[in-house]
């Protein structure tokens, strides 16, 4: 029951959320356009996505490592 809906994701995506919200606000006329070229915004988005994927991979590897240790120390 609000005129606009926003959704925040995990903290690793916080910067990306801020950029998207600023772009949305500018497109709705609620704030002036951000002073970044399209290519710079795309570069930031690519970097955020790369970091998210790296974080996910490290999380998976960590789970695998701890499971291996758990299996090894159990009789």
Within 10 Å of residue 52's Cβ, how many Cβ atoms? 15
Q: What is the pLDDT of residues 23-62, one digit of tens each?
A: 999 999 999 998 989 999 999 989 988 988 999 999 999 9
Exposure of 72 in the CB half-sphere (CA atoms within 13 A): 6
Residue with the larger pLDDT of the pair 19 and 70: 70
How many residues comprise the chain? 75
Within 10 Å of residue 71's Cβ, how many Cβ atoms? 8
Residue with the larger pLDDT of the pair 8 and 62: 62
pTM for this entry:
0.64
């Amino acid at each position: 029951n609000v005129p606009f809906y926003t959704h925040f994701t995990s903290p690793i995506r916080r910067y990306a959320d801020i950029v998207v919200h600023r772009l949305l606000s500018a497109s709705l006329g609620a704030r002036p356009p951000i002073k970044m070229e399209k290519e710079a915004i795309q570069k930031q988005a690519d970097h955020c996505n790369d970091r998210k994927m790296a974080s996910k991979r490290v999380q998976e590897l960590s789970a695998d490592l701890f499971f291996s240790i758990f299996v090894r120390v159990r009789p």
